[in-house]
C-alpha cells in the first residue's frame, strides 16, 4: 500500500465531533500499551503521527487519522488500564461501546493483542463482546519481533484457543519494529474498506 497522505484529523470526545464525510473507518481496539498507535504508524509509515507512549492509558479520546483521502484509522482508548478512576473508565466505556455498536462508517475493528502472552481476561471479554454484536473483526498479534519465529506457532495456537477464534476471523502476526504482517493487514483492511 502506497501512502500518499496521512493526517491527524481530530481527537474526538463524542459523536458530535466524528467526521461526516462518510469515509470508511477502521478502528483499533486493544489493551493499554499493547501497541495500537505504533501499529497505525507502521501501517502508514510515519514515525510518530499516532502518539505512542511507554506510559499506558495515554490515548483517551477517539483519534482520527485520514489516510490517502480514502479511509480513517480510529485509535480507540486502551481497555483494562487500572490507574484511571472507575467513573472515568465507565464514561470511556460508554462512548466506545456506542461507537463500536452504532457507527455507520465503521467497517472493521482490528483487535490488537500481545503475541508474547496469552490473551488476558480483558482481551477475551472484548473479543466476545465484538463477536456477540457481529462487528467485523480481525485479530492482530503484535510485538512479534520479541518472539523467535520458531516459537510463533506455539503462541498462535495459544491465542486461537484462548480467544476461541473461528476460522472466519483473520489472525495476523505483526511487528511495529520490523513491519512483519503489514502487507497482510493492508489486504484485510482494503477488503473491508471497499465493501
63 binds ligand GTP (CB under 6 A): no
Q: Give 53 or 69: the residue with its C-beta nearer to ligand GTP.
A: 53
Spell out the SS3 assignment of 130-165.
HHHCCCCEEEEEECHHHCCHHHHHHHHHHHHHHHCC
Closest Cα to residue 108, out of 146, 85, 140?
A: 140
Residues 125, 154 contacting (CB under 8 angstroms): no
Beta pairing partners, 26: 73, 108
Should residue 149 be labelled a site residue for ligand GTP when binding is judged by CB under 6 A?
no
Instruction: Answer whether 69's CB lies under 8 Å from 150's CB.
Output: no
Binding test (CB under 6 A) with ligand GTP, winner from 26, 66, 127, 143: 143
* By the rule CB under 6 A, 145 interacts with ligand GTP: yes
What mask, x for binding ligand GTP by CB under 6 A, covers residues 172 to 191?
---xxx--------------
Sign of CA dihedral 148, 149, 153, 156: positive
Which does residue 119 bind out of ligand GTP, Mg ion, none, counting CB within 5 to 8 angstroms by kind? none
Is residue 142 a contact residue for Mg ion (CB under 5 A)?
no
Site for ligand GTP in 77-136 (CB under 6 A): 78
**Is the CB of 37 or the CB of 111 nearer to ligand GTP?**
37
One character per residue 50-89, x = contact with Mg ion (rule: CB under 5 A): ---------x------------------------------
CB burial string 157-193: b at 16+ within 10 A, e below: eebbebbebeeebbbbbbbbeeebbbeebeebbeebb
User: Which residues are near Mg ion by CB under 5 A?
Assistant: 36-37, 59
Please report, as ranges, the residues that interact with ligand GTP according to CB under 6 A.
30, 32-38, 52-54, 56-59, 78, 142-143, 145-146, 175-177
Amino acid at each position: 500500500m502506497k501512502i500518499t497522505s496521512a493526517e491527524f484529523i481530530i481527537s474526538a470526545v463524542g459523536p458530535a465531533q466524528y467526521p461526516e464525510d462518510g469515509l470508511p473507518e477502521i478502528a483499533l481496539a486493544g489493551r493499554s500499551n499493547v501497541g495500537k498507535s505504533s501499529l497505525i504508524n507502521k501501517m502508514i509509515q510515519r514515525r510518530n503521527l499516532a502518539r505512542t507512549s511507554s506510559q499506558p492509558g495515554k490515548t483517551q479520546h477517539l483519534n482520527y487519522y485520514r489516510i490517502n483521502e480514502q479511509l480513517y484509522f480510529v485509535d480507540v482508548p486502551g481497555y483494562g488500564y487500572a490507574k484511571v478512576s472507575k467513573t472515568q473508565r465507565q464514561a470511556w466505556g460508554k462512548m466506545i461501546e456506542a461507537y463500536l455498536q452504532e457507527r455507520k462508517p465503521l467497517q472493521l475493528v482490528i483487535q490488537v493483542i500481545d503475541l508474547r502472552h496469552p490473551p488476558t481476561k480483558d482481551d477475551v471479554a472484548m473479543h466476545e463482546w465484538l463477536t456477540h454484536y457481529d462487528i467485523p473483526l480481525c485479530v492482530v498479534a503484535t510485538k512479534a519481533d520479541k518472539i523467535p519465529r520458531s516459537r510463533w506457532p506455539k503462541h498462535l495456537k495459544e491465542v486461537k484457543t484462548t480467544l476461541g477464534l473461528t476460522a472466519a476471523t483473520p489472525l495476523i502476526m505483526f511487528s511495529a519494529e520490523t513491519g512483519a504482517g503489514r502487507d497482510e493487514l493492508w489486504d484485510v483492511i482494503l477488503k473491508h474498506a471497499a465493501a
